[in-house]
A and B are shown apart, each in its own frame.
Chain A
Amino acid sequence: MSSLLIGEILSLSMFAVVIAALMMGYPVVFTLAGVGFAFGLVGHLFGAFDLSYFNALPLRYWGILNNDVLIAVPLFIYMGVMLERSGIAEDLLRTLGEVFGRLHGGLAFSVILVGSLLAASTGIVGATVTTMALISLPAMLRTGYNKELAAGLIAATGTLAQIIPPSTVLVFLAVIMQTANSQVQLAKGNFTPATLSVGDLFAGAFIPGIILSCLYALWVIFMIIIKRDSAPPMVTQRSPGLYRKVVVALAPTLLLIIAVLGSIIAGVATPTEAASVGAMGAVLLTMVRMIGNALSKRLPEDQVERALFWYWIATVVLLVVLAVTTGANGVLTGSVLMTAAALLFILLRGDTRPVFVKVLTGVAQQSLNLTVMVFVIFLGATVFSLVFTRLGGEAVVGEFLSRMPGGAHGAVFVVMFIVFILGMFLDTFEILFIVVPISAPILLKMDVDPVWLSIMLAVNLQTSYLTPPFGFSLFFLRGVAPPEVTTGHIYRGIVPFVGLQIVCLTIVWIFPQLATWLPTVIYGN
């Protein structure tokens, strides 16, 4: 047999072996890297792989670790983890739950709204699902919600963080797609290819993200119509001064969203710059809440509430005035001074200082955890895809995809199907780092639009959180759900929402403009 054929056989058996190995449960990163390396050695024995390819790995790793754009990822993670500790999600769920609670499906709508807001301020899927399961799920159950609906809604809404920008998945997708696209364009003889930026994908994901939120809401309405008591209204009185609580919870969230997302999409700041501003904003938000908590131990609660209310009103007004009169200079300086004042207050008080240090320590460790996890998965997957490609696997996949009926559309469909199936067993980032580098160049060569392809992949990858047996969102929900919500409720509850994901994919498939229109409007073509 020729070494070429052996290489192709090996590359295909790699997938079978890696899936079997992954099922054993050893950490995915090292399974990917170890299996990749082993196949490199075997390929070398048969003359189908040159071991010197491994010498290129450190340079590739360097390119991933020291990538200007990807530095946005740890900053977004820091922002997300800090926001999680700030308790803003709890506040939003409680207050908006109270605002909408007396409607049919009101608690469900507040969950969708809060999920979307958190997603737009760089939510972290696990954290969002956990918070909702702890706060909204008990309230929904007390009110008499259908358990499947409540569980499915919370699991699905938590994953909006993955598709609604800013999202770390989109940052990675942008970098990988951009690499693939410039290769393909160069090979085609186009030496000045249009670049694909993080901003393009953030803008592109915006409308599909909103479509998903709306689909979830429509599903809740549909459920209420066919079965009136599946999402009954809450029977509590609104607490006095509710509007103040709403402002205190909403104002900082909206400020963060506008500052971070606005400046990236408007092209004022790079994603990395915007993410660092967002992370600092999250720190300030946490400090203000901490001060509020400390004060409520001494002063009557509604007095503190009023103070916080006026604080955020004043902050919004001040920032708007500064933005209009002095631009970025004033806004940044104003924010720095506010942060410094809050920091001083916290550090000078014996009761807040240890709490703050504890939060900072926890956030640092959790951020390190999440950052290392995604980046190191990238490193492990790089070994795997390097060996796969060099063994000739890319040629096999390319030929297979080009033979699909329907041309480029058939090929995209097959890739989407594979991603969906893999999503049942693997985590978003693993699929992203294995499948996209291998398949994207082939699809882009067939003139598939890179923005559209990225958004389709992003929605599909988001679904991987929801598909049993191995869906992270389900896993998190099961971990914190009250005992009367069983695994069966969660699995049955998620089915319609996976269906909605497929509906969204179909809509964006039929109307690609939903993904490509906004980026062209903002950035031109």
Chain B
Amino acid sequence: MSDPLSAGTSSAAGAGPQWLRAVADRIDSISGMIGKTVAWLTLATVLICFATVYLRYAMHIGLIWLQELYAWTHVAAITMGAGYVLLKGGFVRVDLLYARMSVRGKAWVDLLGTVFLMMPFLVMMAISGWSFFRQSLAMNEASQQDTGLPWLWLLKGTLVVFVFAVGLQGVSMAARSLATILAPREAKPEKNGSGAVGGA
């Protein structure tokens, strides 16, 4: 993971521990790639759902597997895209104090939050999500409808993927924060994922 070459352009950021930034950069590019791919599932959900509407209202055909397919794309988009959204700073913060903090202060919040709030929750999710997935896999769970989709365990397994996608991005956030904290004071601040997006 700590390939020194991947530090890339941010190597100008000064004398902080380079490998931490390198790890974070590498993870960010992985999350970015996953996210940009997974994002198309939102369009897929729209198209497949519209297809069922067309078939149902214009042709009077009801295809259960097609209805289930857009549920699949919807669930998969959320579980697999969460890491990317964390990367893009899509998760809202109460930034009343945070916005006024120094770069170092923000880095401390991100580091401590990731270690003491996010990671314990993700570990718990990993354990319970794994047994949820195993149960489904053990009985080769399929749709309850005769003409529905098989392999429902595959979709349930994306809850575990969610844990890894978010956890991986959490590692990146923690590494970048640690690098900022360890860097000498005059070093140029590294930008952290922050900000906010509006409700829908």
Contacts and interface: CB of A to CB of B under 8 A. Distances in A.
Question: Which of A26, A54, A71, A475 has the largest number of chain B CB atoms within 10 A?
Answer: A26
A66 B112 CA distance: 33
Interface string A22-39: 111111111101111110
The interface centre, meaning the residue of A37, A269, A425, A465 with most chain B CB atoms within 10 A of its CB, is A37
Contacts of A465: 199
A241 interface: no
Interface string A502-521: 00000000000000000000
Nearest to B133: A58
B31 to A, nearest CB: 12
A74 interface: yes
Contacts of A31: 113, 117
B154 to A, nearest CB: 13
Given A364-B42, A371-B42, A26 B117 contact: yes
Contact of A162 (B91, B109, B114, B199): B199
Contacts of A38: 116-117, 120
Interface residues of A, number: 87
A59 B132 contact: yes
A21 B74 CA distance: 31
Given A38-B120, A369-B90, A370-B197, A57 B128 contact: yes
Contact of B121 (A34, A277, A279, A333): A34
Given A54-B128, A71-B71, A30 B117 contact: yes
Which one of A129, A332, A383 has the greatest number of beta carbons of chain B within 10 Å? A332
Nearest to B85: A372
Contact of B43 (A22, A34, A78, A277): A78
Interface in B117-136: 117-118, 120-121, 124-125, 128-129, 131-132
Provide the main secondary structure of the chain A interface. helix
A363 B39 CA distance: 9
Given A58-B129, A65-B78, A373-B90, A25 B96 contact: yes
Interface centre among B41, B45, B59, B106 (most CB of A within 10 A): B45
A251 B109 CA distance: 49
Contacts of A314: none
Contact of A74 (B42, B113, B128): B42
Nearest to B125: A57
A54 B113 CA distance: 21
Counting chain B CB atoms within 10 Å of each CB, the highest count among A370, A425, A469 belongs to: A370
Interface in B77-114: 77-79, 81-82, 84-86, 88, 90-99, 101, 106, 109-110, 112-114
Interface in A399-448: 425-430
A323 B48 CA distance: 23
B142 interface: no
B199 A427 contact: yes
A256 to B, nearest CB: 14
Interface in A298-357: 328-329, 332-333, 336
Contacts of B57: 269, 328-329, 332
B35 interface: yes
B123 to A, nearest CB: 9
Contacts of B46: 75, 78, 276, 279-280, 283
A383 B121 contact: yes
The 9 closest A-B pairs by CB, nearest first: A25-B98, A126-B198, A34-B117, A26-B113, A58-B132, A276-B49, A27-B91, A364-B39, A33-B121
Interface of B: 35-36, 38-43, 45-47, 49-50, 52-54, 56-59, 70-71, 74-75, 77-79, 81-82, 84-86, 88, 90-99, 101, 106, 109-110, 112-114, 116-118, 120-121, 124-125, 128-129, 131-132, 155-156, 159, 196-200
25 contacts: A25-B94, A25-B97, A27-B86, A34-B116, A55-B128, A71-B74, A74-B42, A126-B199, A168-B200, A273-B53, A279-B46, A283-B46, A329-B57, A365-B36, A368-B84, A372-B82, A372-B85, A373-B90, A373-B92, A374-B199, A377-B91, A383-B121, A427-B199, A475-B196, A476-B198
Interface of A: 21-31, 33-38, 54-55, 57-59, 61-62, 65-66, 68, 71, 73-78, 80, 124-127, 129, 162, 168-169, 269, 272-273, 275-277, 279-280, 283, 328-329, 332-333, 336, 360-361, 363-365, 367-377, 380, 383, 425-430, 465, 469-470, 472, 475-476
Given A28-B91, A74-B74, 13 more contacts: A21-B117, A25-B98, A25-B99, A27-B91, A57-B124, A62-B132, A74-B45, A78-B42, A126-B199, A329-B59, A332-B57, A365-B36, A380-B121
